[in-house]
């Protein structure tokens, strides 16, 4: 069975959520088969995800029975959902009751607060290797999906479990959304070793969240950089958390100061801090830094996970063989996905990555073979860990307002340069709405002109230096 | 209206909520709490807390941050830090 769920201790708790659902591995096997048998094999299913048992049962059931889920946030914007439904015409939608009401499809099954809706769309051919699709971020409303092939998720679950040393005694705190690669990886990895997964929809800054993880005795936590900003704002380092023994990071780079703080905290309290690196295109993790190195290799993502290989290429695309070097970071391994899709015909395409992915990130390799991400080749930011394309943001603003615009920035904030003062407030409103992110993550700067070089290319660095400092 | 108006604490308080959540005055009532408001996630919460601390020059205890769950109950918490409404 997918993730070997039927080979775990069957009376052991597999999933717990904060809606009072608790299921054992044995019960989970039953639920997987029940929901899986309701869908046609090789059909596409939109999975409106929440971190609950119902959402997980759908995901596992469809994968097990050869249907292909597309993972989306249950709170997805209506226009975006309508657009995706039109583009990919799924045969089914698996949605929590409160979201199912906005879709006028026939309900054919229900389980743990979720409904299986039949859309009436006809099936169409999907590539035989295709197992799951995930949005790259979805924030700029792009219909682009990453195509996962059979074996990706299980290979990553297995190899990450080995690299992190997870056992069945773990009780991971899963608050990162399962529709995203890192959230799903944390869950898969722990099911793979027969642990008890604590799913939660509570917000990290609420009393309920902390009551839940204390009551359910969470043993490890995976956060994106923003999660750790919150944890420190709450002075979590002064909290008594005796059951929590591992803190892990993924989805964007921590500042060196925060990294040091976490490494020090772990050392002082006898806990582990494990930094890692991954992308949607590699079914989450490619690399992690062993806990014992966190204090000496501040800011490093460590080395490739088992069965994987990290390497650097130069500007000509040639592999750099010098041990200590800097270049574009690339990865080979069984967790590299098949490629992208922007329309339903793409779901028939064969493997285009062929096991190798070029990340678009610049990295340095040290004398011990540990990697450090130093910059980015491609033009995107990770705002709150959501990938937001700068070029696409520029295009959206130009089209909407018919004005000149340049976007740059850091993972903390996007800078939007415009020359038309009168559009300042509207641009901010517009981009926040389009990306579904907060206004405080954007700064609109009105400048006399958008600086360009002789060939017409925008001089982002020069403008940042002049106006942002 | 003549000259510059000085905002009352209540107005400043309401303005922070309007900015963070993009809502108007009519929505700010007893129902405006983290359970009812979909946008009230951890990022909104962090922004809200930072804005309140800056505007009213206070420093919340962890327990108060965790239980800052609504428009009305928030005023009670702020009162304990000496802010008058």
Q: Around Cβ B52, how many Cβ atoms within 10 Å? A: 24
pLDDT top residue among A136 and B49: B49
Across-strand partners of A383? Answer: A386
- The answer to whether B39 and B33 are in contact (CB under 8 A) is no
Residue A139, pLDDT score? 55
- The answer to whether A9 and A18 are in contact (CB under 8 A) is no
**CA angle A410–A416–A420, rounded 5-degree value:** 165
What would you report as the CA-atom Rg of chain A, rounded to the nearest whole angstrom?
22
Please say if the pLDDT value at position B1 is more than 60: no
Domain A2-375 classified CATH 3.20.20.70? no
The 8-class DSSP code of residue A305 comes to: P
Residue A12, pLDDT score? 98
Which of A205, A207, A439 is closest, CB to CB, to B46? A205
Best of B15, B16, B40, B43 to substitute, by most chain A Cβ atoms within 10 angstroms, is B43
Measured between its terminal Cα atoms, the distance across chain A in Å is 55
Query: Does B65 contact A234 at a Cβ distance shorter than 8 Å?
Result: yes
Domain coordinates in residue numbering, chain A: 2-375, 380-468
Residue A22 touches partner B, C-beta closer than 8 Å: no
* Average pLDDT over all residues of chain B: 88
Contact residues, A window 120-159, toward B, CB-based 8 Å cutoff: none
Query: Tokens for A261?
Result: 């703080």
Q: What's the fold here for domain A380-468?
A: GMP Synthetase; Chain A, domain 3 (3.30.300)
Residue A327, pLDDT score? 93
Residue B22, pLDDT score? 85
Residue A208, pLDDT score? 93
Which superfamily does CATH assign the domain made up of B9-80 to?
ACP-like (1.10.1200.10)
A335 three-class SS: coil
Residue A382, pLDDT score? 85
Query: Closest Cα of chain B to A442: distance in Å?
Result: 13
Residue A141, pLDDT score? 62
Residue A137, pLDDT score? 59
**Chain B CA closest to residue A176:** B42
Residue A218, pLDDT score? 97
Across-strand partners of A417? Answer: A406, A445
Give the phi and the psi of residue A57 in degrees, each rounded to 5.
-60, -40
Query: Closest Cα of chain A to B66: distance in Å?
Result: 5
Query: Tokens for A13?
Result: 């708790």
CB-count burial class (<10 Å; 0-12, 13-18, 19+) for A402: exposed
Residue B55 touches partner A, C-beta closer than 8 Å: no
Instruction: Kindly list the residues from chain A whose CB atom is less than 8 angstroms away from the CB atom of residue B42.
Output: 203-205, 226-227, 230
Residue A206 touches partner B, C-beta closer than 8 Å: yes
Give the phi and the psi of residue A166 in degrees, each rounded to 5.
-75, 145
User: Dihedral sign, CA of A161, A166, A168, A172?
Assistant: negative
State how far the Cα of A76 lies from the Cα of A47, in Å rounded to an integer: 11
Below-70 pLDDT ranges, chain A = 137-141
pLDDT per residue as tens digits for the range A303-358: 999 999 999 999 889 999 999 999 999 999 999 999 999 999 999 999 999 999 99
**Chain B CA closest to residue A239:** B62
Residue A428, pLDDT score? 94
A120 half-sphere exposure, CB direction, 13 A CA radius: 5
């Amino acid at each position: 069975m997918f993730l070997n769920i039927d080979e775990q201790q069957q009376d052991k708790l597999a999933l717990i959520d904060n809606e009072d659902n608790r299921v054992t591995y044995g019960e989970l096997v039953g639920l997987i088969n029940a929901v899986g048998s309701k869908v046609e094999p090789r059909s596409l299913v939109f999975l409106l995800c929440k971190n609950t048992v119902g959402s997980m049962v759908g995901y596992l059931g469809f994968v097990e029975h050869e249907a292909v889920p597309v993972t989306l946030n249950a709170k997805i914007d209506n226009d975006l959902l309508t657009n995706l439904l039109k583009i990919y015409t799924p045969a089914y939608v698996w949605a929590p009751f409160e979201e199912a009401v906005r879709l006028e499809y026939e309900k054919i099954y229900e389980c743990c607060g979720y409904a299986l809706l039949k859309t009436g769309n006809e099936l169409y051919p999907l590539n035989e290797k295709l197992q799951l699709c995930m949005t790259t971020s979805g924030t700029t409303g792009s219909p682009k999906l990453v195509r996962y092939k059979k074996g990706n998720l299980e290979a990553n679950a297995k190899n990450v479990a080995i690299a992190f040393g997870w056992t069945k005694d773990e009780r991971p705190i899963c608050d990162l959304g399962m529709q995203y690669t890192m959230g799903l990886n944390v869950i898969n990895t722990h099911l793979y070793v027969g642990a008890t997964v604590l799913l939660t929809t509570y917000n990290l800054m609420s009393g309920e969240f902390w009551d839940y993880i204390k009551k359910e005795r969470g043993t490890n936590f995976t956060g994106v950089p923003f999660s750790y900003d919150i944890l420190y704002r709450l002075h979590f380092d002064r909290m008594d958390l005796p059951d929590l023994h591992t803190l892990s990071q993924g989805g964007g780079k921590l500042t060196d100061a925060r990294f040091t703080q976490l490494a020090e905290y772990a050392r002082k309290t006898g806990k582990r801090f494990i930094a890692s690196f991954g992308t949607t295109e590699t079914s989450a993790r490619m690399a992690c830094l062993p806990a014992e190195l966190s204090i000496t290799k501040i800011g490093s993502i460590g080395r490739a996970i088992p069965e994987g290989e990290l390497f650097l290429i130069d500007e000509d695309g040639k592999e750099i063989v010098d041990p200590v070097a800097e270049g574009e970071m690339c990865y080979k391994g069984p967790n590299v996905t098949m490629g992208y899709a922007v329309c339903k015909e793409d779901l028939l395409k064969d493997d285009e990555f062929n096991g190798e992915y070029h990340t678009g990130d610049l990295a340095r390799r040290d004398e011990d073979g540990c990697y450090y991400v130093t910059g980015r080749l491609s033009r995107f930011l990770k705002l709150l860990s959501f990938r937001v394309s700068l070029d696409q943001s520029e295009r959206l603003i130009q089209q909407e307002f018919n004005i000149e615009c340049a976007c740059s920035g850091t993972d903390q904030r996007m800078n939007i340069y415009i020359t038309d003062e009168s559009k300042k407030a509207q641009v901010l409103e517009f981009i926040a709405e389009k990306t579904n992110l907060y206004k405080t993550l954007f700064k609109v700067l009105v400048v006399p002109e958008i600086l360009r070089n002789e060939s017409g290319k925008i001089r982002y660095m020069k403008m940042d230096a002049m106006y942002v400092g | 209206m003549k000259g510059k108006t000085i905002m009352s604490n209540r107005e400043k308080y309401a303005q922070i909520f309007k900015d963070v959540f993009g809502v108007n005055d009519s929505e700010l009532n007893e129902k405006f709490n983290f359970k009812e408001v979909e946008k009230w996630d951890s990022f909104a919460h962090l922004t809200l807390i930072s804005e309140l601390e800056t505007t009213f020059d206070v420093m919340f205890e962890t327990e108060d941050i965790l239980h800052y769950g609504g428009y009305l109950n928030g005023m009670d918490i702020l009162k304990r830090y000496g802010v008058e409404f």
